[in-house]
Amino acid sequence: MFRIKFFFCFIHIGLIITLTKSEFSCLTSSIISCRCNSDESLVTCIENRPSNETFIDWSTFSSGGHRFHLFKFINFTHLTSNTFTNFTSTVLSLGQFEFTFINRIDRVEENTFQILNFYSDTPITLIFESPRNFQLANYAFSRLKYREIVISDIQNDNPPYQLNLKAFDNTQIYQMSISNSPEFHFISNGSSLINITHMKLKNCSLTNIDLLLDTLSTFMLDIDLSSNKLNHIPSFMKLSTLKDIDLSANLFEDVKSNIFTNLTQLNRINLSHNQIKHIAPDAFLGLTQLSTLVLYDNRLTSLETITVHNEVISFLYPLVQTLTTLHLSNNFLHDFKAIRNLSSLNSLQICCNKIKTLDENAFKNVHKLETIDLSSNHIESIHPMAFDGTILIDLDLSSNSFSSLETTKHVIDDHFHSKNQTSSFLDTIQSTLIVLSLENCTNLLELNWFVLTKLRQLTILKLSGIPKTDKFWTLEPRDGSIIDWHGPSFDHRVSLNDIRFDNNDYCLSKPIFQIFNRTTIHVDENHPCNCFIFMMKKKFGAGHHPICLSNQSIVQELTHECVNIDLSCLSLVNSTTIPLTQSSSSSSSMTSTSKETSLTSKLTTMSSSQSSSTIGSTVTVTTGSIKTSSTSSLTTSVTTTTTTTTTNASTTLRTIIMDDGKWKTILAITIPLTAVAIIAAGTSIFIVKRWKKKNPKESFEMLTGFENLLARK
């Protein structure tokens, strides 16, 4: 043991010795002192005192036999060709060079870097950090080839800064980046030509780049002009090899016709963070390779324009074959009809707009669509066939206003019997969907897990922030189908943050987690402990246990308290088997978004009158479609009431036991004064619930389901 320790100690000392050895003084002149670090092949030269002198004789450079490629000059002000006198006599190429000038470079004279031509094909990188004034003489960069030139944070005593393009005349630069500098203009002392492959000009308060574009040779792959103050899109016509243009965060208000013509290789345009209100229908004409169009954070109210001939035409029409990714988030769009024929579209980001409905065939012909972000819109109804034809993998519907995953339609069958047909917009994508977010859909008053059991690929299900109504754990088969006790085929995660669960939820969710038996659930870290939390503890993923479960005394208490919960659940199950099936038909009659019933919002009571709280009754509200925002706020507040009432576990338990299937009644519930205040003008609400005769077959299957469940225990 001691020997080993000694050994490591020895190695340690050895390391310290080599470390100190690797750094040494390698050049001293009247103006600078350099230290070399052979481990990093780094030479750091610091100015001795403020000076305008430039002459450095590198023949006295003592390399100690090492090769160096990184050179840092700190506080150096003035660069001339004298700065690298005799450089080639003592510095050997290590395959590449990088020179970084930190602070204060004030002037760079003609042919400063000429000597580097000696190394012919060695790639050279020049970095200027926080130069001061930074006056560049003509040919400062000496007609050479550079791998990269980076200029950032130009400090300028008398703005605007003028960058002399003639300094770069006849250079070939693979990558050039100028960023984070105050207002600057380009000037050129005589015409110049620069060959840049990748160009970045970010956050420089540029208002005009025409001179730069004139100077550039025709070959360029991408240009990033983001975060400037450009107010018109310049013409890139000459740069026909461009693949990527970033014009984000400027001041554009419109995109004119044919502005991108001749860019037949262009793959991506980023126009986000502008103030674009209008895009001409021919704006993207000729972009035969464009696959990504980024337009988020603008002021678009429509994707379409009405022409003088009264035709409706969209700026997307030239892109129907090629566009794969379209970002339209954070605009003011009411619809997105114009995307209907984008046959290559794979991903659509359209969050934070003003969309209200998703109609039938909303994604008609968008056969390759896999990802849609429709979050934070005002979606109230989703047609069951809305996503038909797509191969959706990731669907984000969070923060919308729809009230159910299902829609019930009144149909006449072959025998001329009228019947209600319930279906879900998830049905058409059940074989592909992997990620589904319904987070913060505060009007989602009914969640039928039956629909979710059909999503065979489901891996991530986000339900955080949805209201916990009495229909939160609904598991109702529809239209003659039966519950498939297998559910999603993969391990999956269900997030249930921002929801409070009580003991009852354990019983009510049991059949569901029997199906979702490969699930990891997330609840709030600070969720208070109860039997739901305690019994579910194996399902919380590593690092996602509510904090209270780490308190031993709470856990002991719960062990005692929850020991008989399964038994209480049995009685709950025995007594709810019938109501559950019944509500399957009743809910069909309620959750309708179809045209015929869309005008009538129905309020339905689920369980009632057993509560001892001031409210006096437990109310569940299901609305077919919420027409106005006042109605929706009403439903939300009633829901809140529900949640508070149901926290009294035994009450609800009793309530459900009482509801043994014979409530063919009309219930009038008077909301007490407190609720009245919230519900604006409301005084009392009369809630009607119709009870339909249950489908005996269905009920039999439900019973079998529960028997299965009991048998397994």
Q: Which residues pair with 667 in a beta bridge?
A: 687
Q: Nearest approach, Cβ of 148 to ligand NAG (angstroms)?
A: 12
C-alpha angle 13-19-22 in degrees, rounded to nearest 5? 140
**Whole-number Å distance between alpha carbons of 662 and 13:** 87
Q: For the chain, how are helix, strand and coil distributed in percent, rounded to 5?
A: 25, 20, 55
Footprint of ligand NAG (CB under 6 A): 46, 50-52, 57, 59, 74-75, 85-86, 89, 103, 138, 172, 174, 180-182, 189-190, 195, 197, 203, 217, 219, 226, 237-238, 240, 246, 248-249, 262, 270, 272-273, 294, 398-399, 410, 418-420, 439-440, 465, 485-486, 498, 517-518, 570-571, 574, 589, 592, 597, 692
- Judge whether 108 and 135 are in contact, CB under 8 Å: yes
**Strand pairing class (184-187; 161-164):** parallel
Q: Coil, strand or helix: which one is 174?
A: strand
**Whole-number Å distance between alpha carbons of 467 and 472:** 8
Q: Residue 83 or residue 399: which is nearer to ligand NAG going by CB?
A: 399
- Judge whether 284 and 260 are in contact, CB under 8 Å: yes
- Judge whether 513 and 532 are in contact, CB under 8 Å: no
Q: Nearest approach, Cβ of 248 to ligand NAG (angstroms)?
A: 3
Q: Residue 203 or residue 647: which is nearer to ligand NAG going by CB?
A: 203
Q: Residue 588 or residue 617: which is nearer to ligand NAG going by CB?
A: 588
> How many residues appear in the chain?
713
Residue 698 parent element (H or E): helix 696-712
Q: Nearest approach, Cβ of 9 to ligand NAG (angstroms)?
A: 35
Residue in 291, 284, 302 with CA at minimum distance from that of residue 342: 291
Q: Residue 398 or residue 625: which is nearer to ligand NAG going by CB?
A: 398
Q: Nearest approach, Cβ of 315 to ligand NAG (angstroms)?
A: 18
Looking up tokens 């659509």 gives 348
Q: Nearest approach, Cβ of 18 to ligand NAG (angstroms)?
A: 25
Q: Nearest approach, Cβ of 310 to ligand NAG (angstroms)?
A: 33
Q: Residue 238 or residue 337: which is nearer to ligand NAG going by CB?
A: 238
Give the torsion sign (CA, 693, 696, 701, 705): positive
Neighbouring CB atoms inside 10 A of 505's CB total 24
Q: Residue 190 or residue 543: which is nearer to ligand NAG going by CB?
A: 190
Q: Residue 243 or residue 692: which is nearer to ligand NAG going by CB?
A: 692
Q: Nearest approach, Cβ of 608 to ligand NAG (angstroms)?
A: 21
Task: Report how far apart, in Å, the C-alpha atoms of 42 and of each of 19, 93, 107, 380 are.
Answer: 14, 13, 24, 63
Give the end-to-end CA distance of the chain in Å, rounded to a whole number: 54
Q: Residue 60 or residue 684: which is nearer to ligand NAG going by CB?
A: 60
Q: Nearest approach, Cβ of 302 to ligand NAG (angstroms)?
A: 22
Q: Residue 468 or residue 615: which is nearer to ligand NAG going by CB?
A: 468
Q: Nearest approach, Cβ of 191 to ligand NAG (angstroms)?
A: 11
Looking up tokens 């059909």 gives 454
